[in-house]
Amino acid sequence: MKFLLALLIFIISIQKLFSQDIQTLDKRQDSIHASDNPSVSPEEYSRLPYKRLIVPAAFISYGVASLSSKSLKDLNESTRFEISEHRPDHIRLDNYTQFAPGVLVYGLNAIGVEGKHNLRDRSIIYGTSLLLTSAITFPVKHMVKEERPDGSDRLSFPSGHTATAFASAQFMFREYKDTNFLLGISGYSFAVFTGIYRMLNNKHWLGDVVGGAGVGILSTELSYWMYPKINHLLSGKNNNGQTMIMPYYQKGNTGIGFVKNF
């Protein structure tokens, strides 16, 4: 648990360090998109800033290394032993906290605390993030086939719940980092809580959780990068059309709903 708290502090520190540079780049990209400046190449607008990939790449690398490194496997075991001494009755809060930051974004907007994007745009971004998270997580689980700590199956790496939680937390951060940094980073507390409880429920190793965190952050960063292209495809030539994309969670299943009026 100490490791995950240190992980939370590390994420916040890195996000604070890069926040000013990324904010400047975001404003420049928004200006380019709004003015449709022909002197700027499409490649310059669509370039994914490498700094945004540092944190998820580090987490994913750690998770992958934990699958074979003896020292990291020992850390997995020692963390599991430490957590087992404080394990409460089996709970399922992690099934809900994984979506808490995303729900908060919609709730805050509903009461007038506006984020960076409107309802339609943020729904496209968040829906894309959840789709990318699932598209990465599930195939990797079946390829790696790491056994869970409780021995229930061999789909442990990476943690899907943690990936979704950090995708949601990164979404909240990106929506509020420019207007309220403290509010933006608050979603990470739910993400770390989710990761801890996946281990408390004996469903994941520490390496699974760290790797899942990286997948989630990466998915959200990719969704923001892909958004202008997706928005262009959805808008098409008919500007009078209306599009609605909403993420949903029902009986353990996640996905997005899509409606387009022509």
Please provide the DSSP assignment of 42-99 as one string: HHHHHPPPGGGGHHHHHHHHHHHHTTT-HHHHHHHHHHHHHHHTT--S---THHHHTT
pLDDT, tens digit, for every residue of 196-218? 999 988 999 999 999 999 999 99
Q: Percent of the chain having pLDDT more than 90?
A: 56
**Residue 167 pLDDT greater than 70, yes or no:** yes
**Residue 144 pLDDT greater than 90, yes or no:** yes
CB 90 within 8 A of CB 201: yes
CB 218 within 8 A of CB 197: no
CA dist list (Å): 207 to 64, 141, 164, 174:
8, 13, 16, 25
Range picked from 11-25, 157-171, 192-206 for highest mean pLDDT? 157-171
Q: What's the longest Cα–Cα distance across the chain? A: 62
- Mean pLDDT, the chain, rounded, equals 81
Name the residue with higher pLDDT: 23 or 190: 190
User: Looking at residue 38, what is its pLDDT?
Assistant: 43
**Residue 173 pLDDT greater than 60, yes or no:** yes
User: Looking at residue 232, what is its pLDDT?
Assistant: 84
Q: How confident is the model at residue 252 (pLDDT cuts 50, 70, 90)?
A: low
Architecture of domain 55-235: Up-down Bundle (1.20)
Name the residue with higher pLDDT: 144 or 247: 144
Q: How confident is the model at residue 193 (pLDDT cuts 50, 70, 90)?
A: very high
245 beta partners: 258
pLDDT, tens digit, for every residue of 237-246? 555 555 555 5
User: Looking at residue 204, what is its pLDDT?
Assistant: 95
Extract the tokens encoding 153.
């199956």
What is the DSSP secondary structure assignment for residue 235, as one 8-state letter? Answer: H
Q: Where are the beta strands (DSSP E) in the chain?
A: 242-250, 253-261
User: Looking at residue 8, what is its pLDDT?
Assistant: 60
User: Looking at residue 10, what is its pLDDT?
Assistant: 58
Average pLDDT over residues 144-157: 95
CB 216 within 8 A of CB 163: yes
**Residue 52 pLDDT greater than 80, yes or no:** yes
Q: Which residues contact 182 (CB under 8 A, 6 or more apart)?
A: none
User: Looking at residue 51, what is its pLDDT?
Assistant: 80
User: Looking at residue 147, what is its pLDDT?
Assistant: 96
pLDDT, tens digit, for every residue of 72-119? 999 999 988 888 776 666 667 888 999 999 999 999 999 999 999 999
Domain ranges in the chain? Answer: 55-235
